[in-house]
Structure formats: C-alpha cells, structure tokens
Amino acid sequence: AKLVIFRGDLPYPPHDIVRRIELLDETDVIGVGGFGTAYKLVMEDNCAFAVKRIDRNREGSDQKFERELENLGSLKHMNLVSLRGYCIFPSAKLLIYDYMIRGSLDTWLHGKSPATLLIHGHKISSAIKLYIMLVLCRSHLVILMHVVYTEYTEADPVLNWNARLRIALGSARGLAYLHHDCSPAIVHRDIKASNILLDENLEPHVSDFGLAKLLVDSETQVTTVVAGTFGYLAP
C-alpha cells in the first residue's frame, strides 16, 4: 500500500496507519454516500479519523488522482473538513479526513439526532428544526430558512438559534473559500445538509469538496455533466 500524509502532521508510524485501515470492516461504517463508503478509524490513543473508500467506478488514473489530492490536501480553512492524507491499495483508494464527532447537519435536522431550541436560557416544549439553504450569488450571501416543528425530548442536546446561524454562516464561508480563494476554483456540486459536518462545538465543516470537479481556468470550457443529489440540484 502507498500512504501519503499531507504536512506530515499525523504522529503515527505509517505502517500502523496502514494496518488499522486494513482492519476496517462493516462494523466501522459511519456513512454511505454517492462517492463511496465512510469508516471511522480509531488509533491506539483513541484519536479518530474518517476514512472514505472511493468506489472503483468513480476512480480515475492514479496519477490524476494523486495530483488532485495534492492540491486538495494543501487547502486549510476552519470551515472545511481537513484532508489529512490518502492511501492507495491495489483494490481500493482511501481518503483520510478529520473525524467530526457531532456527525452531519442532516442528522440534526431530520430527527436522527434531534435538537432542542433554547430561548432566553429555557428549553421550550417544541423543538424547531431549521432547514437552511445557502446561496452564494456573486459576493452576496443569501440565507433561506424553512421552519417546522417537532416533538421535544428532554435528553436532546441543545441547538439554539445562535448555533444555527453560526452553522449557516460558517458553511457559507467554507464554500466562499472554495469558490473565490482557491486557484483553480473548486465547485462543490453536491452541497447539502449531509455534507456539512459538525465538531464538538457545533462548528460546521464542509465535507466531500475533495471529490468535487476542479474548475478549469478557461472561459471556453463548459461542463455539461449533471452532478449532485436530486432535491438539492439548482434548477
């Protein structure tokens, strides 16, 4: 196996990382998406990482794969999930990311990990779910919100309005960085709640941008392939 760690900032011997990746199985699965399956990788010191296995039918050549990942591995922003490295096996290619302990925004908004609303320090009898659509129009940010009511559970963690607004703005900042501060620019092409991950402080981190198609800096080239998830695609 070939292991590449960006910036050399993982304090583990390469052979230990490879060995633990080889031991991953279905019990370690934390998600399945359009680009592949994600696993939770736990090191000996209990530090966790997310490992995404790329589907074979989505892989390109090793040379192109590694060249694009070198670019993506150099990106650093507080609202992006950091790509820490990758590992190439004869039968699979795997990406190593920081693990976000609070899971995806989708799980909070759709009842899998319900959130409660806090107003003036008091929980109310109904939790309000906030559905957020982020629209970047040139240099302007538009936040569209749709509110619905769900049942409240006393044991639920708190997701107050400040946290919800912070998630919306942080996600938009991550996308703006990809669009305007990267060269070539990166278009996510599949932004949705399940691709916004939350850390222990409920800070948002945009994920799966590493698998987005890099824009070619040419005004004459137009991408005609439809990418994304139905229900989230632009009209």
Strands 196-198 and 118-119 turn out to be unpaired
Is 156 marked active-site? Answer: no
Single out the catalytic residue among 106, 156, 181, 190: 190
- Could you report how far apart the first and last alpha carbons of the chain are, in Å? 43
**How far is Cα 164 from Cα 131, in angstroms, rounded to an integer?**
9
* Bridge partner residues of 103 (DSSP): none
User: What DSSP string describes 120-136?
Assistant: TTEE-SEEEEEEEEEEE
As a residue count, the chain comes to 235
Residue indicated by tokens 């399945």: 32
**Percent helix, strand and coil across the chain, each to the nearest 5:** 25, 35, 40
Helix (H) or strand (E) segment spanning residue 189: none
Contact 61, 69 (CB under 8 A): no
Structure tokens at 171: 């996600």
Give exposure, 70-103, as e/b (b: 16+ Cβ within 10 Å): eebbebebebbbbbbbbbbeeeebbbbbbbbebe
Residue indicated by tokens 């619905």: 148
Q: Is 213 annotated as a binding residue?
A: no
**How far is Cα 189 from Cα 124, in angstroms, rounded to an integer?**
37
- Catalytically annotated residues: 190
Annotated binding site: 52
Annotated binding site for ATP: 52
